[in-house]
Structure formats: C-alpha cells, structure tokens
C-alpha cells in the first residue's frame, strides 16, 4: 500500500513511519507542517528508503494537500497531524482550532473528493484512519472505571475539545458521505523521540541537566501509559484489519500516578548515571501550581482491540520506561538539537 501519514515527523507519527518502513513493504508519504514538534531527525534512519517521501505541508492548506494526493495517489490515510500539548492549548487555543478542527475538515474534504474518483477496487480498499486521544472522554473519578469505545464525550481542555470536534467531523463524513473511516483513541504515549515538553522526556532531560523536576499539584493525577512502539504496531493492525466505521481504544494497561512516574525515572537515572556527591535525582523534584482543570485520571479499556484484532502491548511500564531512559542517555545529540533549536534547520 501507499500510506499517507500526516504528522509523520511528530512523536507518534515518526514511530508509525519508522515501523512501516522497517517492518512492512508499504510505501510512506510523510506529510508534515514541521511545527516546533515536527523533527525530521526522528525519521532520519528511514528517510533514505526508496519507499519513503516527505512533503512539507499544512493540512489546513487544501490546495497543497490536494496536490499531494494527486501526485502520490495514496491507498489510505493515517491522520496524526495535530497540536497536542494541553498546556499550550490553555495558553493559546487558536492553533489547536486551526489545525485540529479546520485542518481535519480540509483533509476530509480532499480525501472525500479523491476517494470518489477512485476505481471500484481502490475505492473499496481506501481507508481514512483518524488517530485521536482518550482525553476526549474527560475525567474518570470512580476507581475501577475505564474508558470504552462507547464512553460519552466530555472534553475539559481546549486541546481535548478540538480533538473531540475532529472525531465528530470524521464520523459525520462517514455517515453522511460514506467515506470509509477508522477512529482510534490512545492513552498517554511515551518512548524515544518525544519532544521534551511532556512529563517523561521533560523529567529525563531536566534531570540530566541537573535542573528542577516540576510536578503539578501533589502528583496524584493518574495516567494509563502506552509505549509508542506498541501504539504504532496497534495503529497498523487497525489499518490493515479494521472495518470501515470501526472505533478502537488502545491502552497500555499501565495506570501510574504522576509522582510515581517521576520518582521511577529518578531511580532509573540514579542506577544508570548516578549523581556525584551522594546526591539523588529525587532531590530535584519540585511541586508547582496545578494545571487549570487538570483531569484526575485516564484509563483505557483495550479489550476490544485484543478480542477482535489480537493486539496486546508488548511492553510493561517498567520495561518501556527503562528503554526510554536508556534511549535518551544514548542520544544526547538529539536532545541537544531540540534544546538549541537546530533541529528546525533540517528540511
């Protein structure tokens, strides 16, 4: 297949691109705007493959996206392009509305027009796979509750509201126009190549720089953690086996309090690269004012994708986090290029 991946230079998108090139015979068209979170160094190891091509484009720019469709004639779309950081959406929501809602609309319209013009065989095989988040479901307050595919939407941040809007658009284009779509909701991703604004890479990079490790409130908020390579494998499984109109939740079965995430990273770093002078990385932990409207708990019920498609995460939180910490230790130049901004010079 020819798979167009939007946002393929981002954290999850680049994991998908790498997995397609390294583990399948499919071709990838990576379409990315290269915002601050887009980093072509994250796909450098596969960028020389004859099955890989890159287009710098904004999904909200309909003419450019349409030209990319006409040039490359994709068999399916994996739509990961999005503004994704809750804190940034609170500070300034306009980019989230533009990319996540308007951009998804433009992409859907181009895809619909393109799909309508395909021959019957290609039309039947075409899929528009929209990758969403568990944050559209809001907050879990009852112990033991899990988000299922039927959970009512209740977004609480500008980010999650924009993603919920995009989800509704995708399903509306399926029900109204017949566009064959798939929707997946994932829990919190972590792993190599993650931009260090998120909790895990921020904690690792701050600790290695001997800087304070900020923890919101008392660190009691709970997230379900999913190793990014497990997620990439799940997304390809859904793309290849899912039926039009399907929705799947993808989770790692790893509920952990934020403070426990941070202390575990501190302990791993102390083991792998101990601080001198008898100090411990835990001494760098600093509690800061909580995020406005901070959801208490997210947790995914991933039984459907296991039951229907046979997918299960391969990494536990312990094995995945150890791999992640080791990757950041082994790739200081990637971190340095993100910190000094030089990764933005790669086109």
Please, which pLDDT band fits residue 31 given cuts at 50, 70 and 90? very high
Please determine, for residue 292, whether its predicted confidence score (pLDDT) is greater than 90.
no
Residues tagged active-site: 134-135, 159
Cα(153)–Cα(44) distance, integer angstroms: 37
Give the SS3 label for residue 38: coil
Whole-angstrom CA distances from 181 to 13, 16, 126, 131, 313 are 18, 18, 9, 11, 24
How many other β-carbons are positioned within 10 Å of the β-carbon of residue 279? 12
Question: Per-residue pLDDT averaged across 105-110, rounded?
Answer: 98
Please, which pLDDT band fits residue 342 given cuts at 50, 70 and 90? confident
Burial of residue 40 (number of CB atoms within 10 Å: 0-12, 13-18, 19+): buried
- Residue from 165, 91, 76, 58 nearest 127 by CA: 76
pLDDT at 347: 65
Question: Per-residue pLDDT averaged across 72-79, rounded?
Answer: 98
Instruction: Label the pairing between strands 188-190 and 222-227.
Output: parallel
pLDDT in tens, 162-204: 999 999 999 999 999 999 999 999 999 999 999 988 999 999 9
Q: What architecture is domain 2-195+224-253+297-315?
A: 3-Layer(aba) Sandwich (3.40)
Question: Per-residue pLDDT averaged across 1-12, rounded?
Answer: 97
C-beta separation of 36 from 8 below 8 A: no
In sign, the C-alpha dihedral spanning 328, 330, 336, 342 is negative
Instruction: Label the pairing between strands 222-227 and 255-257.
Output: antiparallel
Please determine, for residue 106, whether its predicted confidence score (pLDDT) is greater than 80.
yes
pLDDT at 344: 86
- CA 225 remoteness from chain centre: 12
């Amino acid at each position: 297949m020819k798979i167009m991946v939007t946002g393929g230079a981002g954290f999850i998108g680049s994991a998908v691109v790498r997995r397609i090139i390294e583990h399948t015979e499919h071709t990838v068209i990576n379409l990315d705007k290269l915002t601050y979170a887009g980093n072509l160094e994250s796909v450098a190891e596969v960028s020389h493959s004859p099955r890989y091509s890159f287009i710098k484009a904004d999904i909200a720019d309909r003419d450019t996206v349409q030209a990319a469709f006409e040039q490359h004639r994709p068999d399916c779309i994996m739509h990961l392009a999005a503004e994704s950081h809750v804190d940034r959406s609170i500070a300034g929501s306009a980019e989230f509305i533009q990319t996540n809602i308007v951009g998804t609309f433009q992409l859907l319209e181009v895809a619909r027009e393109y799909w309508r013009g395909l021959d019957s065989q290609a039309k039947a095989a075409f899929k528009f796979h929209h990758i969403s988040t568990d944050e559209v479901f809001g907050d879990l307050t009852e112990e033991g509750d899990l988000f299922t595919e039927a959970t009512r939407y209740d977004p609480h941040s500008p980010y999650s509201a924009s993603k919920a809007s995009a989800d509704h658009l995708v399903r509306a284009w399926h029900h109204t126009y017949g566009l064959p779509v798939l929707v997946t909701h994932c829990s919190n991703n972590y792993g190599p190549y993650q931009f260090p604004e998120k909790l895990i890479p921020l904690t690792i990079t701050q600790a290695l720089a001997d800087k304070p490790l900020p923890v919101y409130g008392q660190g009691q908020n709970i997230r379900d953690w999913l190793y990014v390579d497990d997620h990439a494998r799940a997304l390809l499984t859904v793309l290849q086996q899912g039926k039009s109109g399907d929705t799947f939740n993808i989770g790692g079965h790893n509920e952990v309090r934020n403070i426990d995430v941070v202390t575990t990273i501190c302990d791993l770093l102390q083991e792998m690269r101990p601080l001198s002078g008898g100090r411990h990385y835990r001494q760098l932990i600093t509690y800061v004012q909580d995020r406005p409207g901070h959801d208490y708990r997210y947790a995914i019920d991933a039984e459907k994708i296991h039951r229907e498609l046979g997918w299960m995460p391969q990494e536990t939180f312990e094995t995945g986090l150890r791999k992640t910490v080791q990757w950041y230790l082994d790739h200081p130049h990637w971190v340095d290029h993100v910190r000094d901004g030089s990764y933005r010079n790669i086109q």
